Amino acid sequence: MTIDYFENGEIIQIEEDDPRNPANITGATSTISDERILELKAECERSNRNALLVSTDWWGVSDRTMSDAEKKYRQDLRNLPTHSNWPNLEDSDWPTKPS
Q: Which residue has the higher pLDDT, 86 or 26?
A: 86
Instruction: Tell me: do 15 and 43 sit in the same domain.
Output: no
Instruction: Tell me: do 43 and 90 sit in the same domain.
Output: yes
Is the confidence at residue 42, as pLDDT, over 80? yes
Instruction: Tell me: do 4 and 26 sit in the same domain.
Output: yes
Percentage with pLDDT > 90 across the chain: 57
* Predicted structure pTM score: 0.67
Q: Which residue has the higher pLDDT, 87 or 31?
A: 87
Instruction: Tell me: do 12 and 45 sit in the same domain.
Output: no
Is the confidence at residue 45, as pLDDT, over 80? yes
What is the domain range of residue 3?
A: 1-31
Collapsing DSSP to helix, strand or coil, 82 comes out as helix
Output the pLDDT for position 25.
67
Instruction: Tell me: do 4 and 39 sit in the same domain.
Output: no
d(Cα 57, Cα 41) in Å, to the nearest integer? 24
Instruction: Tell me: do 65 and 47 sit in the same domain.
Output: yes
Kindly indicate the confidence band of residue 32, based on its pLDDT and cuts at 50, 70 and 90. Answer: confident
- β-strand partners of 15: 2
**Count of structural domains, the chain:** 2
Is the confidence at residue 97, as pLDDT, over 80? yes
